[in-house]
Chain A
Amino acid sequence: MGNSELNTVGQSVRRKEDYRFLTGCGQYTDDVNPPHHTHAYFLRSPHAHANIRRIDTAKAKAAPGVVAVYTGADLTGVNGLPCGWLITGTDGQPMKEPPHPVLAQGKVRYVGDGFAMVIAETPAQAKDAAELIDVDYDAVPAVVNPVEALKAGAPQIHDGAPGNKCYTWALGDKAAVDAAFAKAAHVTQLDIVNNRLIPNAIEPRAAVASYSRADDGYTLYVTSQNPHVERLLMTAFVLGLPETKVRVIAPDVGGGFGSKIYLYPEETAMVWASKRVNRPIKWTAERSESFLADAHGRDHVTHAELALDPDGKFLAMRVHTTAAMGAYLSTFASCIPTILYATLLAGQYTTPAIYCEVTAAFTNTAPVDAYRGAGRPEATYVVERLVHAAASEMGIAQDEIRRRNFIREFPYQTPVALLYDTGGYDACLDEAMRIADVQGFAARKAEAAKRGKLRGLGYAAYIEACGLAPSNIAGTLGARAGLYEVGQVRVNPTGGVTVFTGSHSHGQGHETTFSQVVASRLGIPIENVEIVHGDTGRIPFGMGTYGSRSLAVGGTAIIKALDKVVAKGKKIAAHLLEAAEADIEFKDGKFTVAGTDRSKAFGEVALAAYVPHNYPLDKLEPGLDETAFYDPTNFTFPAGTHICEVEIDPDTGKVAIVNFSACDDFGNIINPMIVEGQVHGGVVQGIGQALLEQCVYDQESGQLLTGSYMDYALPRADDVPSFKVTTKVTPCTHNPLGAKGCGEAGAIGAPAALMNAVHDALSAAGVTYLDMPATPHRVWSALQAAKH
């Protein structure tokens, strides 16, 4: 094999991890069964809001198989769960951070709020015993809608957050925006609800916590996207344990979508209790618990306005959003509807002035936090729905209004704090229109009309900020953590390479993509590269995977470590080849004296590093093991255009997606197959939000009405068409891979494209506005209302 064949970058290499997944050899948290382990069950509130007058655990403690029963009162010395991002309000005050106890005490604040933990020999015994816990509730009125929660007289959820307000925060130049609106030729206004979603990873949350008397240490297996962050928050902020005494392992994880970023109460209580009972404790959420107690996503209510000149040029945008936080602040809840939302409101456009004000409200619901896209789908939805409506109102074609406003000069400083390094928005729009066959749409619409069906076409030209991101910028914006990533490249004596990454794969295929990067850089076969992730006991302190950051930030850290390996390899090779270090070139897996055929293979250099018999020991340490921490200088800005074509049956209101086309710019691509898979998955989740998914709490009782798949509609394969996806490339300018990130784009672009198509289809019937999800019932009802 020629060495150039080892360069697989840009090729759809089959996923290395799939053999173990497809043959049932994956090792998930629930597969971990330490000897003598016990099982935990969490007793959760059946009420949305209630004072707990008394809890009697005596009968439960005496029940068969019970090892221990704990309530909040037992957790002395245990702090509440922290929030990782401080938002400072327009009043200059820090956000309200009411306590988020590990087990609720005195009061429960949402249906599913855990307040007691039963530990028993079997899961069934734990559950049986929990039914024997006698609780005296004093149910009080609840409020589940964030707008209602902020109204005078709403039930008060936390003493420390008057009026249920967490913060009011703003970004942008309000005076400039108001001035632009005053002289606008046209103003488009929309009231938008961004529907609350439940994440639904295929693997429910799970944990196995063990304590060892031998070293007074703890081991926690947990379904986490970022084990180091989990450990830091749990030890330093909540349990007061030394980080050195806690090892957190996130083994194979079956999907996260954001919901496994956070430090949750369950695993925290289990680590604490594992020392008390001195036995391992295991817990795997039942699906019903996942619905109730995983952090949910979205849940915004927004009033948005766009000011335009007579030619359809955007002059200004004004956005007021109320965002639900749920009953407690989850780990990154506060930054989602602010830092990851308002900053994206420029979209792909030159809108010169933008002002966004966000009020965050506590509600009697599960906490809300990042869910695939996290703030950016909400922003894209606001921008692209406004653009669609403005174009319709002004009689400008949907592609034309976008072209009139595209940013074309880079770097571009937006009025909402971001600096776009590069992009090519026309190219994506053109290509998306080509594959969507926009030209043939009028004929297809006419044909559908003959069958009594309504066809519509919708565009979303989205942008996202990924590769989170410069720690210093994040720090000034309130981040309480760093956002760099770490990569360690350990070359073994026989030339194989083990890479330790702080990124975490829970479906993204890192083991393949990262191996391709490493093998190609070193000129070695991909089989000789092993990727290790997800274990604080093996990996330097890393930040994990979220916000489509793994390749751009984690991959770059690996590249930096590889640079160090190559640099040291050159020194060793120079010695072996008796040449000057400056004359050594590294290419295709060989260190060569420039201009000669004298070379040493990578493996020979590795062997010399570990068997340093002929080695410059006076100048150089043996070994070939390098670590790099990479903190990016900017976000990356993936962008693209999604075009959706729908056909609506006016008799039933059913929306059928007949075509979905996407042209995305993710920068350079390592593995096209994996990227395409990420787009497919993201688009399906976006379609889910737009067409099917809706978390509903009863407005009065606060009960979760969509607590199972009987009522919460996840998309199935036959709900989506065969996608047409393609890419255009403008490489990211500030990381060596030129990569931007692709994990969330589908979920960001799809909802707006789909809803714009629905509005396009319904406009002829007089329907002007519809919120997500566009269920048959909703569409039909809107059609009826438009008739009257």
Chain B
Amino acid sequence: MYAFEYQRPKSVADAVAALAKSGGKALAGGQSLVGAMKLRLANPGTIVDLSGIAELRGIKKEGDAIVIGALTTHAEVASSSVVKQSIPALAAVAEGIGDRQVRNRGTLGGSIANNDPAADYPAAVLALGATVHTNKRKIIADDFFKGMYETALAADEIITAVSFPVPKKAAYMKFPQPASRFALVGVFVAQTGGGTRVAVTGAAPHVHRASTIEAALSKSFTADAAKAVKIPADHLNNDIHGSAAYRAHLVSVMASRAVAAAG
């Protein structure tokens, strides 16, 4: 780890100002950022620790949506009765992230800001058609995830919360990469007010919607319909843990299992 300056502001406004002034990085749970710093892969001159900002925490129901503060941990989402009641699939996503220690530290905001190509939350945010709230705007999920580790966020922009519309049905199926247990392929399927949405993580350089599966499921929301869709392997990830063809196949399989689980 390289040496760095450390700040712990009390408000979003102060945090944004600190980021703008220092050009540093926001710190949430540290489960991605600190690891990268320890490996000397990240060298933020200044760390702006968000943990002192109370308004970034918490889970509440607002109308037809569940609004979760950016700093809410995976463990809090996994065990929240509000989430479990309204969007059990979202609680299940959180429960399936990493290990207990990671879930007790890692946060929703950190996960989607990081936008790891194999992370779980981005699939949920995208498939549920959630809206990302920041200190200056609201960004719909379809506009938020831009590329590998890339989002619509500006350098001094902070996610404050994510608003998830409650779906009719939803489920997430993750086939873990055997070593990291991030998603080798993860598929989130949701029947929402805006139609059937299917988001895929792990398979490609970044989270994306599987339009062919969405089309098939719009006609027939059945496991067989999802499984029958042949996903082309071009542009999918190909590495020591799985070929592009294997990932393509798993997308259909995980989608069909998610549909079955969604009931």
Check: B243 CB closer than 8 A to any chain A CB: yes
Total CB contacts across the A-B interface at under 8 A: 46
B178 touches A652 (CB 8 A): no
A777 touches B241 (CB 8 A): yes
A124 and B1 contact, Cβ closer than 8 Å, known pairs A706-B240, A780-B246, A781-B243: yes
Q: Which of B134-180 contact A (CB under 8 A)?
A: 175, 178-180
Check: B258 CB closer than 8 A to any chain A CB: no
Q: Which of A652, A712, A777, A780 contacts B179 (CB 8 A)?
A: A712
B39 touches A288 (CB 8 A): yes
CA distance A86 to B97 in the complex (A): 50
A694 cross-chain contacts in B, Cβ below 8 A: 240
A777 touches B242 (CB 8 A): yes
Residue of B nearest to A712 (CB): B179
A582–chain B nearest beta-carbon distance, Å: 66
Q: Which of A288, A651, A692, A696 contacts B240 (CB 8 A)?
A: A696
B119–chain A nearest beta-carbon distance, Å: 13
Residue of A nearest to B242 (CB): A777
Check: A182 CB closer than 8 A to any chain B CB: no
B39 touches A711 (CB 8 A): no
A710 touches B253 (CB 8 A): no
Check: B249 CB closer than 8 A to any chain A CB: yes
Check: A733 CB closer than 8 A to any chain B CB: no
CA distance A468 to B3 in the complex (A): 50
B250 cross-chain contacts in A, Cβ below 8 A: 652
Residue of A nearest to B180 (CB): A710
B122–chain A nearest beta-carbon distance, Å: 18
A652 touches B240 (CB 8 A): no
A773-788 contact mask (Cβ, 8 Å, vs B): 1 or 0: 0011100110010000
Residue from A710, A711, A777 whose CB has the most chain B CB atoms within 10 Å: A777
B245 cross-chain contacts in A, Cβ below 8 A: 784
Q: Which of B182, B184, B240 contacts A705 (CB 8 A)?
A: B240
A450–chain B nearest beta-carbon distance, Å: 17
If over half of B's interface residues share one DSSP class (helix, strand or loop), that class is named, otherwise mixed; here it is loop
A777 and B246 contact, Cβ closer than 8 Å, known pairs A692-B178, A705-B240, A709-B180: yes
Q: How many residues of A contact B (CB 8 A)?
A: 25
CA distance A706 to B177 in the complex (A): 13
A711 and B243 contact, Cβ closer than 8 Å, known pairs A124-B1, A652-B253, A776-B178: no
Residue of A nearest to B175 (CB): A652
B244–chain A nearest beta-carbon distance, Å: 11
B179 touches A709 (CB 8 A): yes
CA distance A710 to B40 in the complex (A): 16
Residue of A nearest to B247 (CB): A777
CA distance A777 to B182 in the complex (A): 15
A733-756 contact mask (Cβ, 8 Å, vs B): 1 or 0: 000000000000000000000000
A701-716 contact mask (Cβ, 8 Å, vs B): 1 or 0: 0000110011111100
Q: Which of B35-61 contact A (CB under 8 A)?
A: 39-40
Residue from A692, A706, A709, A711 whose CB has the most chain B CB atoms within 10 Å: A711
B240 cross-chain contacts in A, Cβ below 8 A: 694, 696, 705-706, 711
B39 cross-chain contacts in A, Cβ below 8 A: 288
A47-83 contact mask (Cβ, 8 Å, vs B): 1 or 0: 0000000000000000000000000000000000000
CA distance A127 to B241 in the complex (A): 32
CA distance A711 to B182 in the complex (A): 11
B241 touches A711 (CB 8 A): yes
B241 cross-chain contacts in A, Cβ below 8 A: 711, 775, 777
CA distance A128 to B250 in the complex (A): 44
B180 touches A780 (CB 8 A): no
B8–chain A nearest beta-carbon distance, Å: 22
A777 touches B243 (CB 8 A): yes
B178 touches A780 (CB 8 A): no
CA distance A7 to B246 in the complex (A): 59
Residue from B2, B241, B243 whose CB has the most chain A CB atoms within 10 Å: B241
A396–chain B nearest beta-carbon distance, Å: 34
CA distance A653 to B250 in the complex (A): 10
B179 touches A781 (CB 8 A): no
CA distance A149 to B175 in the complex (A): 36
A636-657 contact mask (Cβ, 8 Å, vs B): 1 or 0: 0000000000000001111000
CA distance A777 to B186 in the complex (A): 15
CA distance A784 to B246 in the complex (A): 10
CA distance A489 to B253 in the complex (A): 65
B2 cross-chain contacts in A, Cβ below 8 A: 128
CA distance A652 to B182 in the complex (A): 16
CA distance A298 to B228 in the complex (A): 42
Q: Which of A127, A651, A775, A781 contacts B178 (CB 8 A)?
A: A775
CA distance A391 to B249 in the complex (A): 34
A684-709 contact mask (Cβ, 8 Å, vs B): 1 or 0: 00000000101010000000011001
A777–chain B nearest beta-carbon distance, Å: 5
CA distance A713 to B181 in the complex (A): 9
B43–chain A nearest beta-carbon distance, Å: 11
CA distance A709 to B180 in the complex (A): 6
Q: Which of B237-263 contact A (CB under 8 A)?
A: 240-243, 245-246, 249-250, 253
A603–chain B nearest beta-carbon distance, Å: 51
A124 cross-chain contacts in B, Cβ below 8 A: 1, 3
B242 cross-chain contacts in A, Cβ below 8 A: 776-777
B3 cross-chain contacts in A, Cβ below 8 A: 124
B249 touches A711 (CB 8 A): no
Residue of B nearest to A705 (CB): B240
Residue from B3, B178, B242 whose CB has the most chain A CB atoms within 10 Å: B178
A713 touches B178 (CB 8 A): yes
B248–chain A nearest beta-carbon distance, Å: 12
A665-688 contact mask (Cβ, 8 Å, vs B): 1 or 0: 000000000000000000000000
B1-38 contact mask (Cβ, 8 Å, vs A): 1 or 0: 11100000000000000000000000000000000000
A115-135 contact mask (Cβ, 8 Å, vs B): 1 or 0: 000000000100110000000
A692 cross-chain contacts in B, Cβ below 8 A: 178-179
B200-214 contact mask (Cβ, 8 Å, vs A): 1 or 0: 000000000000000
B182 cross-chain contacts in A, Cβ below 8 A: 710
Residue of A nearest to B246 (CB): A777
A709 cross-chain contacts in B, Cβ below 8 A: 179-180
CA distance A124 to B2 in the complex (A): 8
Residue of B nearest to A775 (CB): B178
A91-128 contact mask (Cβ, 8 Å, vs B): 1 or 0: 00000000000000000000000000000000010011
CA distance A184 to B184 in the complex (A): 47
CA distance A709 to B182 in the complex (A): 11
CA distance A654 to B178 in the complex (A): 10
A710 cross-chain contacts in B, Cβ below 8 A: 179-180, 182
CA distance A709 to B39 in the complex (A): 13
CA distance A711 to B242 in the complex (A): 12
A112–chain B nearest beta-carbon distance, Å: 15
B179 touches A651 (CB 8 A): no
CA distance A651 to B184 in the complex (A): 15
Q: Told that A124-B1, A776-B242, A784-B245 touch, could you supply 8 new A-B pairs with CB distance under 8 A?
A: A288-B39, A651-B253, A652-B250, A692-B178, A712-B179, A776-B184, A780-B246, A781-B243
Nearest first, the 8 A-B pairs at minimum CB distance are A713-B179, A713-B178, A710-B180, A777-B242, A651-B253, A777-B246, A711-B179, A696-B240
List 15 interface pairs A-B (beta carbons < 8 Å), by A numbering.
A124-B3, A654-B175, A692-B179, A694-B240, A705-B240, A706-B240, A710-B180, A710-B182, A711-B180, A712-B179, A713-B178, A777-B243, A780-B249, A781-B243, A784-B245
Residues of B within 8 A of A (CB): 1-3, 39-40, 175, 178-180, 182, 184, 240-243, 245-246, 249-250, 253
